[in-house]
Amino acid sequence: MTNRNRYFRVLRVGKRGEIYTTSDIRAEIGIREGGSVLAYVERGKLVIRPLEPLEERIRKPILKLTPGDVERISEEAQEEAGILG
């Protein structure tokens, strides 16, 4: 059963509390074998979100700077420190 991008499924719970999802739910939200998920309770509901693998996160650039940007930032820092020569 679906409702506006929501999946409603009855999931099985194992003896130790494992929750078994369906392949369509895993595919929809990007849960992969061997991956990690973040689970938390929000207003009485269990929320499970996939975590991006660390390898993918560290490959993403934090900032995109040109050599000119770096030079300008360096000069501003030197001026603030009173060492601009």
Q: Where are the domains of the chain?
A: 12-81
CA pair distance 60, 63, nearest whole angstrom: 9
Burial (CB count <10 Å: 0-12, 13-18, 19+), residue 6? exposed
> Architecture of 12-81 per CATH?
Ribbon (2.10)
pLDDT at 4: 63
Residue 76 has pLDDT above 60, yes or no: yes
Residue 13 has pLDDT above 80, yes or no: yes
Who has greater pLDDT, 79 or 85? Answer: 79
CA pair distance 31, 51, nearest whole angstrom: 8
Tell me the pLDDT band of 5, cut-offs 50, 70 and 90. low
